Amino acid sequence: MKPVLLVLAAGMGSRYGSLKQMDGIGPHNEAIIDYSVYDAIRAGFGKVVFVIRRSFSQEFSEVFSEERFGGRIEVEYVFQELDKLPAGFAVPEGREKPWGTNHALMMGADAIRDEPFAVINADDFYGAEAFRTVGDYLHSVVGSQNRYCMVGYRLKNTLSDFGSVSRGICSAAAAGNLASVVERTHIEKQGDRIFYKDEAGTPQPVSGESIVSMNMFGFTPDYFRYSQDYFPEFLKENSNNPKAEFFIPLMVNRLTSNGTAVMKVLSCEARWFGVTYKEDKPDVVARLNKLIATGVYPASLWKR
């Protein structure tokens, strides 16, 4: 049984100014998604499931098809929409966008059945070693339950020079398992220091050495059931908050803190980079060209 890669691609990239998941960065117009799928294939994944929106489904599926990947991996599409809610719930007044990363993840439940799976963002470049690390872990937990993992990165290596970012700040417990992860928003450098904004909008300092989640997680399929069970409770608790988001770290915290599951914090030397803002692209292209020059990737990913 091969693990599945779940790619969260429903965001339209409002800060970036375009559908950045499809923006070419490679020598032959390859997108970041192409490199993620390429690395997943090399790491032994058997299927990729894209979480997208119906509003751009035709455009997306025409580009990222099984044919594009040379038939080397199975491809499926699922949809995240604002009104995909449990029975008895309706979209509250003032709500304008879907319910966050864990809501997006839940859309993959019908496409992923018994296989362990990894979750990534469409617009983040994680690196070949990260996929090997997650792939090896997921192969080791086939048939298990409540066995999760995440790849951790140093906060200072995940920032943009062109604006703020959101990151899950992690703390580890014994045996390398995750103790907690807290979503922090509006993180940015100010001189030699790094700050995030708390719920009151007040800047708070944070160490650049902090381990952060870049939404590269691995789960056994029981995770879907737990998410579906808790989502109605989340909706009730946030009925008056039109901007509340059902983040993956929120669900992970719940399951690890109550002892339901354990999440292993995996480390690797691969460096994360991504296109949060349009101004990030030249640096991403330059870093990718270095990886091609050193033989990590071929100049043309899908050339037969």
- The tens digit of pLDDT for each residue in 64-105 reads 889 999 999 999 999 998 889 999 999 888 888 889 999 999
- 98/11 Cα distance (integer angstroms): 9
Domains of the chain: residue spans and CATH: 4-151+214-293 (3.90.550.10)
Tokens 């039109």, located at residue? 242
**Cα separations in angstroms, 60 against 7, 12, 25, 104, 107:** 13, 12, 17, 17, 17
| Locus of tokens 């992923």 | 112
Segment 204-244, tens digit of pLDDT = 999 998 888 888 999 999 999 999 999 999 999 988 888 88
How many whole angstroms separate alpha carbon 75 and alpha carbon 60? 12
- Which ranges constitute the DSSP H helices of 12-171? 32-42, 57-63, 101-106, 128-140
Find, among 33, 35, 42, 5, the residue nearest to 291 by Cα: 35
CA distance 176 to 223: 20
% of the chain beyond a pLDDT of 70 = 96
Rg (CA), the chain: 18
